[in-house]
Structure 1
Amino acid sequence: MEIYLDANATTPVLPQAQAAALAAMASDFGNPSSIHSTGLKAKATIDSVRASARRVLGAPTGRLIFLSGATEGIQTAVLSALTALKQRRKQDPGTAPSLLLYGATEHKAVPEALRHWNALLGLDLTVLAIPVGPDGRHDLAWLREHAPRAGLVCTMAANNETGVISDLDGIAATLAGSPALWMVDSVQALGKLPLALLERGIDYAPFSGHKLYAPKGIGLLYVREGAPFMPLMAGGGQEGAARSGTENMAGIAAMGAVLAALEEGRCFRPSATLHGYRARLAAALEEAFPGLQFNAPAAHTLPTTLNFSVPGCSARLLLDLFDAAGVRVSGGSACGASKALPSFVLQAMGLPAWRTASAVRLSFGPAADEAFIDEACARIRACGQALRESCQGLAAGSAETADGVVRWLADGGCCHVVADRRSGRCVVIDPQPEIVERLVSWLRCQRLNVAAVLRTGAPRDDGIEAAAAILRSAFSVIATDGPIRLGERRLAPLRMKGDAIGFVLDNGLGPRLAFVRDAAGVPKDGLAALEPEDLVVCTHDPHNRLARRVGDEHGDAGEVGDEWAIDAPALHRLLDNEPSARLIDVREAYEQCLGAGLALGGQAVPLSCVLDALPGWLALPANTPLVFFCRSGNRSGQVARALRRLGHARSFSLAGGLALWPHAAQEVATLDERMPAWE
């Protein structure tokens, strides 16, 4: 069972809405512009849904236009307002407004629309962001100062990332007497907040159906009676010439079913119930992740949204963890999630960098029920337990002590820990400041004593030295310049060009690993102390090459072709035809624990431990197929490409990972029967 907690990005379609859409496609498919009976039935549906929308929104007057969604509504509103401003400037250039204002935490669709139409219409108005406080609400004093010169003010009813509810009454009072038109992005408010569009004097309010159980591709735009209006879409004159193009009858019918459900009050929970659900989810999160911090005050946020950060845990780690447990959350706005950037919303609120970079958003819809929340809380607690048991949280765990090389990623580069389970000793190479707190916790949880903290590259004063000082203090490390023995492993200084420093790890069983700062530090003569089969590992590894051969002069983004990705049918054929093929799960231990039912069998080698396994894989016969998989295919793709660069051409990654694996639960037993138990 999937626990979907990303409702601020989109929602499933309400069963009543599905039925209404299918009915519209099957029988009420007429063109509402046609004058025959089938067309008249379609026109009657549109009129009925519009009337329902007026009642739900409390908008008996003004335009209510059906369009594709909030982005089109925002574009239409901005175009309408700016066209009116251009006309005003022609008539009276001396008193025309000079500013366009938007909330600093607005969805990117708003400032982008402002800049686009401002440039296209040749207005050259100044576009400014309205500051927000630590609570995410607009700075009304700043707005009051700038409002007299503003032509358009754009604010949100509620923020999509944090759930912070804007002080719309305060904004309305601040704008009283201002010449500015006012647009309120109401996407997250529908079904959750009373908007009082008329009472507050809101000029434009866009809505999007897919944020409240309607399909994607349908939305509404409210335009106050008397507010300037300019159609974005010109053509056949549909929607009273407000939005040309044949109407999306299936979407309108589906949205009508959602609006009817809102009017009836049976599908959606009352506010008090939703607040209770949020409190239970918040308690489960705090129990699962000690030290967790919520990024917005509960008193001024939607009862369906929680935004939080966990000390020492990146947003990527948490997203992988939740996804392995079948819990769908996001790292902020869905539109910006793929960019993996710090949240600009939290930055605007002035939150510390670690919180803006590691924030996770949890959101549910108002149709959620008790059983759903029960299961969500149980899985959140299971996530915390899995993190502790793998020693990845800040609380103690029970994981088996690490043995070999463990790779830690941070924004600034890589940190490597060389551990020896038998002696309980380890060496830390290039500790990164972003992860040092979590690293200290992990080392203690692993019951490892730090024998040395080393750094590669030329000596310089940077964050690595500060992180090293924290480790030396936490573990009473004794400084050493000579070789260090960790059981059968020996770590020795490596001669580099200039005053650069490197280290070489030898376990006596095959190719050695040379740790250096970056590829530029590797002399062209091939590091005299190493052999051609040895592997070079760079602390600075922006393209996730993992390792390179001695003397490898290829660029960081060297091409390996595109045949490394293998889809499900091809994987089935490979396993049927080549019994020597190996499946390797590179998800981390906490993911494997939570997602055991999705595993495909084979060998488990977390990405963080791949460096230890590389020599063994490279020693296999060249025709041995190696197929790596993870949650999405990104990490397994890194490993497959790395092995191909290192010479093992038959390395593959399962395209789309487990997320796209067809009928994964049914396939497990079949694949497990084919796979030997690899040691």
Structure 2
Amino acid sequence: MSQTTSLSQIYLDANATTPVLPQAAKAAMSAMEELFGNPSSSHITGLKAKNLMEQTRNHAKQLLGANQGKIIFTSGATEGIQTAILSALVNAKASLNPNKTYTLLYGATEHKAVPNSLAHWNQLLGINAELKAIPVDGSGNLDHDFIAQEAANALMICTMAVNNETGVYQDLAALDRLIRQHNPDLFWMVDCVQALGKRALNLAETSIDYAPFSGHKLYAPKGIGFMYIRESAPFTPFIAGGGQEGGLRSGTENLPGMAALNVVFEMLLNQDDSAFFPVSTLLDYRVQLAQALQRAFPTIVFNHSFSNSVPTTLNFAVPGFSSKEIMDLFDAANIRVSSGSACSSKVTGSFVLDAMGLPTWQSESAIRLSFGPAMTQAEVDQACERIQSAANALGNSCLSLNVDAGAQNKTPLNGLVQLKSGSSCTWIYADHKSQQALIIDPLPELEQRIDTLLQCQQLTPIAFIDTHGHADHVSGRVALAERYLPQQATDYLGWPAVHALTDIGSRPVQAVKVGELTLIKVATPGHTKDSISLLLVNPQGTVLYAFCGDMILMGSLGRTNFDSSCAKQMFHSLKLLHGLIGDHTLLCPSHDYNNEFTTSFGAEFTRNALLNETINGVMPIGLFEQQKVQLDTHLNDEMGTEIICGAYTGSCDKAVIKEYDAISLKQQFQQTQTIKLLDIREPHEYALQHELGELSEHSINIPMTRLVQFIQQHQHDKQDEWVLVCRSGSRSMVAAQAMHRLGFSNIAHLKGGYALSR
């Protein structure tokens, strides 16, 4: 077992949830074993339970400075948000002026539970107010001028004390003055979930009407929360029933949860006997962690200012790396972080960072590192060490030029690499023997990563080539070519002016050499008038890969409704390309909207009727043009803010993939030795944490960035049983789907990945 995997995890995702403090867990267990009575019962067992409940309530009031208000216990913050919004809107509805237009205001960086709940109750109660997001500036501060303009017509305003993704806090005293100056009667809810233990709260001195809290964000169990209600604020029970909580919230009380909360409250109130550290210590922790991140990733960008955010949250991005890549890297080093709000982990970008006006790459690459006030110095020290070890692994994988790592253990790069930024692809072919490299469709977001790879592997690029003029981004080709090939004369797509001529399909074509292979340029206009395809051919004359730009995409054809497009030309280009490469050569496009990696004419024929009829049927050119117009029209509904370069239909033909768990895979492997395990983690993950138990010695590591080459090299092994493995099972399922579509009929994957295999 490696040193990294033998260590316990360093949990740095406290804004999502926290472990239960041992003292809190003990109190909860004691409540279940001894104080199990119903607080509504009048016998001694019930009275003891009620005493615990009221003790917890009083501690909450002391902690929040809320002696003049009410505290009720809930299942968590979401219930508190519902209760606050329902209470405010039911009261507001009674006095609506039918001739007046109303609004509901919420911060643009609020947790999605807030705007979604506002929309829900606004519709259900028939209020039909307009929901308006309060803009924020680049530091995450709410726009006070906007609030001043909108407050008079607003029924309710919802803000956050501390943002869950960035840790940015709002000046509640200034907001209080602003809101009451422009609308003394406006109902005000403040989400305080991330503030407890990190910011001082004195709610009775404010005009805040409602403030929800959640126990599991501060070392109590899940399923217990509480909320503050101002004495004069209206209230409508969200849960009606037996009248518990003084009729404000029915349902038998969660005594174990309250017992745990009580311990947390007592520790916050008594710093002398507490697991929690003061803010000054937490600030020092942030300095140490930030410095460790900067040493490990010199180009790191922090997505928020430390001057207006709590010390327990660091939100950052590393140029050239997606949030998923950094998350997987940290996870392999046994560091748990997240890519923003855990409730929206499927979203590729951060709406919070988008609202702050940060560049798209920062939003899509954002990592949230968060810790709680019970974090210890020893844990900080371990976290800093592992952050460095993770960076060293990147250096050894030639993904960063890490000074400490020195890339002394690097694996030589030989063959095809697929890099992605969002849905866009850059392709790199490296020949280790000649130490030459070819870069096709270089993306500006990946410029530094390409540069690092070339330097670390000591590769000499022979060309940086675009397959067409890209409408959706500026190419990274020019900057890279100026750095590496300043004297090379090229055309405007980067094709070298000095090149050879060769024959393919009885026609002379331009060609350049990369190692023993030949790259052939073929004009294939249609998507744009300057579109080309690049064919990589081995010495035997076999086309290994066809870099086709946006002419053929997975599940679609490139759009032909640009000013420089021509469907008629695409018709002829499709026939030409197929005649040169046939059904089975892998097509490597410049976009991959469905995470399918690669395709071929043969694979596309089964789901692309227009392409099939064009190549194999009797499709007149006029009919092709008509159908292509209809296909491109679909893009009008799909584009949004992104320029989609292909007639993407949103369907990627999901196949039913065979799944193993750790036990069944081990049993199957004992029965037959023909199973081939394919570990598709990246080299830095594999190096940090490579065990697969007893099956480890039988697996081979082929990272997803090299999957296309693996598919090409194993065209004759499609009947073998391949079992794909990754960290969590998500990537292995995606890769298995792609391989199945390309004819690997006996493909399977390990459900839950290696995370659940030990």
Tell me what 1:652 maps to: 748
By how many angstroms is 1:504 displaced? 2.3
Residue correspondence of structure 1 range 133-152 to structure 2 within 5 A:
133-152=137-156
By how many angstroms is 1:395 displaced? 5.3
- Residues 130-158 of structure 1, C-alpha deviations (whole Å, 9 max, x = no match): 22222212222332333333322211111
Q: Which of 656, 662, 680 is 1:568 aligned to?
A: 662
CA distance in 1, matches of 2:332, 2:525: 45
Tell me what 1:630 maps to: 726
Tell me what 1:264 maps to: 270
CA distance in 2, matches of 1:621, 1:79: 58
By how many angstroms is 1:283 displaced? 0.7
Give the gaps of 5 or more residues in structure 2: 1-7, 491-495, 500-509, 559-572, 608-649
CA distance in 1, matches of 2:584, 2:122: 60
- Residues 526-581 of structure 1, C-alpha deviations (whole Å, 9 max, x = no match): 71122444333333222222233433313385546323322112211121011122
By how many angstroms is 1:29 displaced? 2.0
By how many angstroms is 1:227 displaced? 0.7
Is residue 304 from structure 1 mapped to residue 312 from structure 2 by the alignment? yes
Q: Helix, strand or coil for the counterpart of 1:443?
A: helix
By how many angstroms is 1:119 displaced? 1.6
Residue correspondence of structure 1 range 96-495 to structure 2 within 5 A:
98-177=102-181, 178=183, 179-265=185-271, 266-340=274-348, 342-393=349-400, 398=407, 399-456=410-467, 459-462=468-471, 466-476=475-485, 477-479=488-490, 480=496, 482-494=510-522
CA distance in 2, matches of 1:153, 1:497: 55
Is residue 544 from structure 1 mapped to residue 595 from structure 2 by the alignment? yes
CA distance in 2, matches of 1:81, 1:93: 18
CA distance in 2, matches of 1:548, 1:202: 57
CA distance in 2, matches of 1:536, 1:310: 30
Is residue 15 from structure 1 mapped to residue 66 from structure 2 by the alignment? no
By how many angstroms is 1:361 displaced? 0.9
Tell me what 1:523 maps to: 574
Q: Which moved more, 1:514-523 or 1:318-327?
A: 514-523
CA distance in 1, matches of 2:398, 2:489: 25
Q: Which of 502, 525, 528 is 2:533 aligned to?
A: 502
Quickly say closer, same or farther: Cα 1:146–1:495, change in 2 above 3 A: closer
The answer as to whether partners of 2:584 and 2:602 remain within 8 angstroms in 1 is no
Q: Helix, strand or coil for the counterpart of 2:536?
A: strand
CA distance in 2, matches of 1:293, 1:415: 23
Quickly say closer, same or farther: Cα 1:487–1:152, change in 2 above 3 A: same
Is residue 554 from structure 1 mapped to residue 606 from structure 2 by the alignment? yes
CA distance in 2, matches of 1:657, 1:111: 35
CA distance in 2, matches of 1:361, 1:333: 8
CA distance in 1, matches of 2:744, 2:362: 40
Q: Helix, strand or coil for the counterpart of 2:245?
A: coil
The answer as to whether partners of 2:144 and 2:178 remain within 8 angstroms in 1 is yes
Q: Helix, strand or coil for the counterpart of 1:628?
A: strand
Q: Which moved more, 1:240-249 or 1:594-603?
A: 594-603
CA distance in 2, matches of 1:537, 1:427: 14
By how many angstroms is 1:513 displaced? 2.1
The answer as to whether partners of 1:411 and 1:434 remain within 8 angstroms in 2 is no
Letter in 1 for 2:729: G
Is residue 24 from structure 1 mapped to residue 31 from structure 2 by the alignment? yes
Aligned residues: 655
CA distance in 1, matches of 2:153, 2:582: 71
By how many angstroms is 1:80 displaced? 0.8
CA distance in 2, matches of 1:615, 1:303: 49
The answer as to whether partners of 1:618 and 1:643 remain within 8 angstroms in 2 is no
- Residues 357-379 of structure 1, C-alpha deviations (whole Å, 9 max, x = no match): 21111110101111111100111
CA distance in 2, matches of 1:187, 1:373: 24
CA distance in 2, matches of 1:492, 1:133: 50
By how many angstroms is 1:611 displaced? 1.9
By how many angstroms is 1:634 displaced? 2.2
The answer as to whether partners of 1:312 and 1:394 remain within 8 angstroms in 2 is no
Q: Helix, strand or coil for the counterpart of 2:165?
A: coil
CA distance in 2, matches of 1:461, 1:224: 57
- Residues 490-540 of structure 1, C-alpha deviations (whole Å, 9 max, x = no match): 222357575652222233587722222324378368711224443333332
The answer as to whether partners of 1:312 and 1:393 remain within 8 angstroms in 2 is no
Q: Helix, strand or coil for the counterpart of 1:276?
A: helix
Tell me what 1:677 maps to: none
Q: Helix, strand or coil for the counterpart of 1:579?
A: coil
CA distance in 1, matches of 2:161, 2:128: 27
CA distance in 1, matches of 2:539, 2:745: 26
- Residues 24-43 of structure 1, C-alpha deviations (whole Å, 9 max, x = no match): 22232222223333333322
Letter in 2 for 1:200: T
Q: Helix, strand or coil for the counterpart of 1:114?
A: helix
Give the gaps of 5 or more residues in structure 1: 665-679
Letter in 2 for 1:430: D
Q: Helix, strand or coil for the counterpart of 1:216?
A: coil
The answer as to whether partners of 2:536 and 2:543 remain within 8 angstroms in 1 is no
Quickly say closer, same or farther: Cα 1:304–1:469, change in 2 above 3 A: same
Q: Helix, strand or coil for the counterpart of 1:491?
A: strand
The answer as to whether partners of 1:430 and 1:464 remain within 8 angstroms in 2 is no
Q: Helix, strand or coil for the counterpart of 1:527?
A: helix
By how many angstroms is 1:352 displaced? 2.2
CA distance in 1, matches of 2:364, 2:49: 48
Letter in 2 for 1:612: Q
- Residues 298-327 of structure 1, C-alpha deviations (whole Å, 9 max, x = no match): 122112111112222221211111111111
The answer as to whether partners of 2:392 and 2:402 remain within 8 angstroms in 1 is no
CA distance in 2, matches of 1:501, 1:551: 21
CA distance in 2, matches of 1:379, 1:52: 38
Q: Which moved more, 1:106-115 or 1:4-13?
A: 106-115
Is residue 612 from structure 1 mapped to residue 709 from structure 2 by the alignment? yes
By how many angstroms is 1:72 displaced? 0.8
Percent of aligned pairs with the same amino acid: 43
The answer as to whether partners of 1:152 and 1:182 remain within 8 angstroms in 2 is yes
RMSD, aligned CA: 2.3
Quickly say closer, same or farther: Cα 1:268–1:225, change in 2 above 3 A: same
- Residues 462-498 of structure 1, C-alpha deviations (whole Å, 9 max, x = no match): 3566322222222214433622222222222357575
Tell me what 2:47 maps to: 40
- Residues 100-141 of structure 1, C-alpha deviations (whole Å, 9 max, x = no match): 221121111111111221122122222222222222122223
Tell me what 2:56 maps to: 49
Letter in 1 for 2:686: Q
Q: Which moved more, 1:248-257 or 1:103-112?
A: 248-257
Q: Which of 575, 579, 586 is 1:535 aligned to?
A: 586
Quickly say closer, same or farther: Cα 1:462–1:134, change in 2 above 3 A: same
By how many angstroms is 1:166 displaced? 0.8
The answer as to whether partners of 1:295 and 1:307 remain within 8 angstroms in 2 is yes
CA distance in 2, matches of 1:344, 1:235: 38
Letter in 1 for 2:532: I
Q: Helix, strand or coil for the counterpart of 1:308?
A: strand
CA distance in 2, matches of 1:118, 1:241: 24
Letter in 2 for 1:619: H
Letter in 2 for 1:164: V
By how many angstroms is 1:276 displaced? 0.7
CA distance in 2, matches of 1:314, 1:505: 28
Tell me what 1:669 maps to: none
- Residues 356-406 of structure 1, C-alpha deviations (whole Å, 9 max, x = no match): 221111110101111111100111111222222222136575234421001
